Amino acid sequence: MTRSSDRPATPDVPKTPMRLGFLLMDNFTLISLASAVEPLRMANQLAGRELYQWTTLSTDGEAVRASDGLLITPDNGMHEPLALDMVFVCGGVGIQRHVTREHVLWLQAQARQSRRIGALCTGSWALAKAGLLDGYECSIHWEFQAAAQEAYPRATLTTRLFSIDRDRATASGGTAPMDMMLTLIARDHGRELSAAISDMFICDRMRGEQDQQRVPLRHVLGTSQPKLLEIVALMEANLEEPIALDELANYVNVSRRQLERLFQKYLSCSPSRYYLKLRLTRARQLLRQTSMSIIEIASVCGFVSTPHFSKCYREYFGTPPRDERQMRLASASVALTPATQPAGSEDDAYVAPRTSSAMQALAQAQGEPTYASVHLR
């Protein structure tokens, strides 16, 4: 048995539920919204009590059409007085056209009230336009990465699935908001709860903040360089037994010199460096996602010896493979706690949402066998 002194510290459970608002922009992506809200619902169900409340918002309280054509009726208009701890902007298709000055002013007002701010999919565009990502690391769907970086150079755009930087939390889209929410829930209420939520949603694993979006090379190169795309595809398919560069060149009927020029011109590195990057990136995934030994990982990623693998890994990522494995096993310890509302503040005029969707869902879940199955200390 584990001695009490050896048990990991458990985050303090707030007495009141954390209140989140989701601002639905026109053409928002429904999958991102669902991926963010469903973990909150399941957290309440598994805990057997209301840990989180959520409400959907639109500019004027009127229905909003999602990118799949479904018309969604929100709970509230964004200007209604609501007691919220955190606000997320749910973006989607054509976000540049849909962010208005009214949105910008409202978001800036939320930040002035010390509310935590977040975004899903392309919602980071709205935050950046409001100046709320200046000096922050953030994530946005890879399709908007280059445009957002050019339009808002003060924001530090990453290619990560999601980014949590102080009081900002941004997810790239698709199912990435689920991974972000699971991370936030783990920080609020412990990894046992987040792991149980992951199991309920049949998630093979919880992707972490350092996991990267897989940006298709075709998006970077377009269709103008079919030979380069073919070479990269060959590299990706042959990581365990790397193909010599001369053979790669022969496969696509170019010279070794032409091969070198293609990589330098379009990928800003040599072919050998790019191949090494692919193998090391694969090794990092295996270190983080599997229990394979470092020796096995070195072998399946095409390294002839473990010391050589460790040297290359440390030089590329700045940390040795052994430390990478240990970091994967370490528990998240920084809590993102709900914002408190000081007595006598201007927020005293705020009231809870008229209808708690969280309580409705929790009441319906009381007959489920998993209800209150995770004990929060």
User: Tens of pLDDT along the chain (377 residues)?
Assistant: 333 334 344 555 567 999 999 999 999 999 999 999 999 999 999 999 999 999 999 999 999 999 999 999 999 999 999 999 999 999 999 899 999 999 999 999 999 999 999 999 999 999 999 999 999 999 999 888 878 888 899 999 988 999 999 999 999 999 999 999 999 999 999 999 999 999 999 987 888 888 888 777 766 666 678 899 899 989 988 999 999 999 999 999 999 999 999 999 888 889 999 999 999 988 987 887 678 899 999 999 999 999 999 999 999 988 899 988 876 555 333 333 344 444 444 444 444 445 577 887 788 777 666 676 676 76
Share of the chain residues as helix, strand and coil, in percent rounded to the nearest 5? 45, 15, 40
CA distance 149 to 275: 27
pTM tops 0.75: no
What's the CATH fold of domain 18-201?
Answer: Rossmann fold (3.40.50)
The CATH class of the 217-326 domain is mainly alpha
Closest CA to 186 of 195, 178, 175, 177: 195
What residues does each domain of the chain span?
18-201, 217-326
Token code pair at residue 184: 């936030």
Token code pair at residue 190: 């412990």
Q: DSSP state, 211? A: P
CA distance 270 to 137: 29
